[in-house]
Amino acid sequence: MDSQHESAPATRPPDSSRSETTLRVNGKPHTLTVDHRRVLLDLLREDLGLAGAKKGCDHGQCGACTVLVDGRRVNSCLLFAVALDGCEITTVEGLAGDGEELHPVQRAFLDRDAFQCGYCTPGQICSAVGALAEAAAGHPSHVTDPATPSGEPVALSREEIRERLSGNLCRCGAYPHIADAVEDVIP
């Protein structure tokens, strides 16, 4: 499927500046012919109509574009889509699955009023999901006590949560409530 705008030819042959790429986004495969310059963020927003990931800086300096690629949180503004051929992408729209039920992190953000303008929120939520998985997998952070045994899950104190989510700026200043929300869903 090529979901480029109708103004562009529907099936443009790959040339030296475009290639065919297949991504699985929120469980569904998409095959597109992409301009090599197209980053994942713009592909999601412009080609797939998934505008949940936000463009706050376009340079990896704010975290609003955070999505999960093969389960890991990354800045989608810095990833060329062509380089992600075959990857599994999860965006904020795909966290909860198909039902009405929210993902626990989404639910906690609502319960804690962990946002105001909402623009950083999808990135914060995806980042929190990724950070929880990282801590469970034993990834340390800058504030983890060096004496913590390697390879074991890291307990998430408030300080750990704050440090691990520091790649997601929030200008409205919802940080304390975001930390509350993440604390709520620590397994």
| Contacts of other proteins in 40-69 (CB under 8 A) | 42, 45-46, 49-64, 66
- Residues 100 to 119: which contact other proteins by CB under 8 A? 102, 106, 109-110, 113, 115-119
User: What does the buried/exposed string (b/e) look like for 120-141 if buried means 16 or more CB atoms within 10 Å of the residue's CB?
Assistant: bbbbbbbbbbbbbebbeeeeeb
Strands, E assignment, the chain: 18-25, 28-35, 66-69, 72-75, 88-90
Cβ closest to other proteins, residue 5 vs residue 187 = 5
As measured in angstroms, the least distance from the Cβ of 187 to other proteins is: 18
What are the tokens at 51? 């505008």
Cβ closest to other proteins, residue 29 vs residue 97 = 97
Give CA–CA dist 124/165, Å, rounded.
7
Does 98 bind other proteins (CB under 8 A)? Our answer is no
The H-assigned helical ranges of the chain are: 40-42, 104-111, 121-136, 158-164, 175-185
Cβ closest to other proteins, residue 8 vs residue 29 = 8
- Residues 136 to 155: which contact other proteins by CB under 8 A? 137-142, 144, 146, 150-151
Does 24 bind other proteins (CB under 8 A)? Our answer is no
